Structure 1
Amino acid sequence: MTDLPFDPAALDWTKGDGLLPAIVQDADTLRVLMLGYMDRDALDATRQLGQVTFFSRSKGRLWTKGEQSGHVLELVAIDADCDADTLLVLARPQGPTCHLQRPSCFPSAPGGVLAELDALVAQRARERPDGSYTTRLFDGGIRRIAQKVGEEGVETALAAVAQGDDELLGEGADLLYHLLVLLRARGLSLRDVERVLAARGG
């Protein structure tokens, strides 16, 4: 069962006739995925199953997201807001969240581009699709990837002192991409770097 940073009994279940809005956010990209409602049983089921479960007002029953499509939301964490009447659910989607086959039910919901790229790099590392440049990098090994990071770092530095903004931005994007590949080849991720930065406190 997933631990909670709050006491479920302390939530304000009376305000919405036993239902609390539950905002679901991608744990990696921070994109808002959807809004649902949870009663006490849905919250308990979510914690027990490890998959986000709502109370469906239209069906009049508990409903685990993806129970038919297979596009479940794997639970990462749950928090409550300052008024104890709304839940924030962090999850990892296993497929599109929206029934229109979009990542989010909110078509313009912003997400972290770097986090999305990191997730794609992780997928390439697992699946190694033929013809993928990222696959070739992983197959080349740590030394080759590290060499590419060095090359891109030098090219970024040269662009900063001798070229225009567009060139610098392009080289910077190449450097970040190759760094993500290098981290993943070592079993690390963008999130690990973010934790180091957070610990430094700016």
Structure 2
Amino acid sequence: MKKLIIIIGVILAGYSSRSYAQIAAAEAVKLVVKKVIKAIDLKVQRMQNQTIWLQNAQKTIENELSKFRLNEISNWSEKQRSLYDKYYQELWKVKSTITYYQRIKDLTLKQVALVGEYQQAWRLFQSDKHFRPEEINEMQRVYLGILDASAKNLDQIMLVVNPGKTQMTDQQRLEAINQAGDRLDENYGDLKQYNNQNIILSLHRSKDLNEVKTIKNYYGLH
């Protein structure tokens, strides 16, 4: 009897240590996710500020450009025409370097949407009884991977936008932004696909039509 108690105690201790280890790992992942989201929020705020600056700069330049109708001015000397033509061309050059602000704005909104999709899905999956605790923990790890990848793509975009940190032509800069933006689009697509897969799994685990209907309503499916 004493041996049996000892054996049971050892088994329970083993389960307990594994359980504590799983909980500790889950909490560690949760903490990292929070840090990543906080970092993303800061990056998004900086990108929004950068977008506003670029938008205002573009408006200013367009206003300046509208003042010069070089071909319509007939009484200027060649020297005046040459001087203002050079200024005019410089304005166009600057204007061309900030035309990518709309792309940056779109990518900022995409990142905000990605985090929002994650937060909503994570809240719902945690309360869905069709998923085991270890499955919820695995979901968190997958989400961490997607969020971390999107944060790195934001870093790349911000690095390219800052002309003081990168030596690029305007075309190279725009191409680099588009490449990072395409990867961010992939991150968003991966997140939505993963969410859909988990919803489908929950529906498959439903016991009857009433439960299926309940789950559909729970996830806002119609």
Instruction: Classify the TM-score, shorter chain.
Output: under 0.3
- Normalised TM-score (structure 1): 0.21
Larger RCO (alpha carbons 8 Å, 6+ apart): 2
Structure having the higher Rg:
2
The structure whose residues are more often helix, as a share, is 2
